[in-house]
A and B are shown apart, each in its own frame.
Chain A
Amino acid sequence: MTTLNVDSRGTACPGPITDLIRAYKKAQNGDLIILVANDPGAVPDSKAWCERTKNEFVGSKDVENAFEITIRVTGKKS
């Protein structure tokens, strides 16, 4: 299992989701993607994206004027 850290601070929609999708393309099932963003839309957008792609939205928390979003990659075809 690998953890991919994605720093999207300073980017607004669709920056964080673009960064998330680009990291996801390189990830494998079981990997964690930790997305840090200060765009308030990043949390609901990430949740919606996880629901649509069958990946797991593990959670989000506030960190230094930003949101840290954790996603477990579970949706990729084997």
Chain B
Amino acid sequence: MKNIAIIGSGAGGLITSSKLAKDLSKEIKNGEVTITLFDKKREQEFQPGYLEVAFRGTDPSKIRRPVKKLVSTGVKMVYDNVEKVDLADRYVKTEGSSEKINYDYIIISTGSSPDYEQIDGLKQANMDFHTDAYNASLIYNRISSIKSGKIVVGIGGLPYKCPPSPNESAFMLDEYFRKRGIRDDVEIVYITPFTRIYSAESINEVIEPMYERRDIESITAFNTDTVDAEKKELTSLEGETLKYDYLFLTPPHKPAGFLKGSEMSDEDGWVKVDKKDLHITTYDNGFAIGDTTNIPISKAGVEAHLEGIVVANNIAAEITGTEQKIKFTGRTQCSMETGFHKATFVVGTYDRPVEKIEPSTMNYMEKKAMEKIYWGSLHGHYEWLFKYHFKKDYFEK
């Protein structure tokens, strides 16, 4: 009997569990393998949809689904959070329980979430579209009442998830106020700690002229240190100040609490893994995927997806004795909406720098198509399509 534990029912955990359930269906049926997915959440949200909720007023319920409808046949769901993972003795404990749940393989996919404690005053001053759909909807309520003023958006701290999303917020606000006919009365300012509007030079070359054309001001190398909600003022680590009327910054992110101080994590709690096979550096039967890891690539759904495929394949290969191991290529594919039904993509791998892709309606349609197939993709229904789309970047042998 082999027990596989997966922690986290986000995109990474669900895709990994569905592939394992498919590849090991015979073994599960014969009672030789169990797959258990741990997460307290009863609902999951389509996180890229937060932008639509915040800046176009999409109803949050449209981007939510019950977890029970997302878990594939063959996977046992446990609605508890894990608070301890003992890699040496191969067991986990759930919150408030003393029971040791043994495993043979473990996959940690607990994602990341906004960390307001890193920046004094940010929580009181800011509204974000990274926490959840409800909080994103509050932004739409707020912008609906804006008649004039200065909006500051951008990157509040590092790391954060969905790298293009702060830029998208600037473009979508620009579109929103142009459509309302009051763009001239609303100032949009984008701040970033990087030295370019988008950190990768090839994408920066695409969007920097657009910022100028759309009259979006940018302030680079701004390292937000504190925020004064009373004065409505940001102060950088270097002592520069910036006034705002409305603040929609992307906060820095943190990993799940139980990972900080763990032997498997770096000093900030991100799990140290091999960047190609995703095994936790000191344990061959432990893996981490998605935002959870310290791999220096985007914290984005596509990474969690492709890493999950690699890990699930390799565990199934080991159990069935086929030994057809594969590796993650570092492929990223983050869409960046630039407003008015156009989008570009941030595409690269470990071996290829980010490509220069001009915004187009076709890219926007591709982004929208992904939204349509997202929920089915968590069950693995569209792996043939992803395999075709990513070609040699889907995985390497």
Contacts and interface: CB of A to CB of B under 8 A. Distances in A.
Q: Tell me the dominant secondary structure on chain A's binding face.
A: helix
Contacts of B296: 8, 10-12, 15, 18-19
A21 B268 CA distance: 14
Contacts of A76: 237-239
Nearest to B157: A25
Contact of A52 (B221, B225, B348): B221
Interface in A1-57: 8, 10-15, 17-19, 21-22, 24-25, 41, 45, 48-49, 52-54
Interface string B370-389: 00000000000000000000
Nearest to B352: A12
B158 interface: yes
Contact of A17 (B195, B225, B235, B268): B195
A77 interface: yes
A45 B296 CA distance: 16
Contacts, number: 64
Nearest to B159: A18
A12 B237 CA distance: 25
Nearest to B221: A52
Contacts of B235: 77
Nearest to B330: A12
A48 B221 CA distance: 9
A4 to B, nearest CB: 11
A24 B194 contact: no
Q: DSSP majority for the B interface?
A: loop
B275 A10 contact: yes
B320 interface: no
A18 B239 contact: no
Interface in B184-237: 193-195, 199-201, 220-221, 223, 225, 235-237
B238 A75 contact: yes
B353 interface: yes
Nearest to A19: B296
Nearest to A27: B237
A14 B199 contact: yes
B354 interface: yes
A75 B194 contact: no
Nearest to B237: A76
Interface residues of B, number: 27
A41 to B, nearest CB: 7
Most buried by A among B157, B195, B225, B239: B195
A44 B158 CA distance: 20
Contacts of B193: 21
Contacts of A53: 221, 223, 237-238
A52 B221 CA distance: 6
A21 B195 contact: no
Central interface residue in B199, B221, B239, by most chain A CB within 10 Å: B221
A11 B199 CA distance: 13
B238 A77 contact: yes
B201 A13 contact: yes
B196 to A, nearest CB: 9
Contacts of B236: 77
A22 B353 contact: no
Contacts of B200: 13-14
Which of A8, A19, A24, A77 has the most B CB atoms < 10 Å from its CB? A77
Interface in B16-69: none
Interface in B96-126: 118
A24 B195 CA distance: 15
B195 A45 contact: yes
A24 B275 contact: no
Which of A10, A49, A52, A76: most chain B Cβ within 10 A? A52
Given A12-B296, A77-B237, 14 more contacts: A10-B275, A13-B199, A13-B201, A13-B353, A18-B158, A18-B199, A18-B296, A19-B296, A21-B193, A48-B195, A75-B237, A75-B238, A77-B236, A77-B239
Complex A-B, nearest 10 residue pairs according to Cβ-Cβ distance, in ascending order:
A77-B239, A14-B199, A52-B221, A11-B296, A15-B296, A48-B195, A75-B238, A21-B193, A49-B195, A53-B221
Interface of B: 118, 157-159, 193-195, 199-201, 220-221, 223, 225, 235-239, 268, 275, 296-297, 348, 350, 353-354
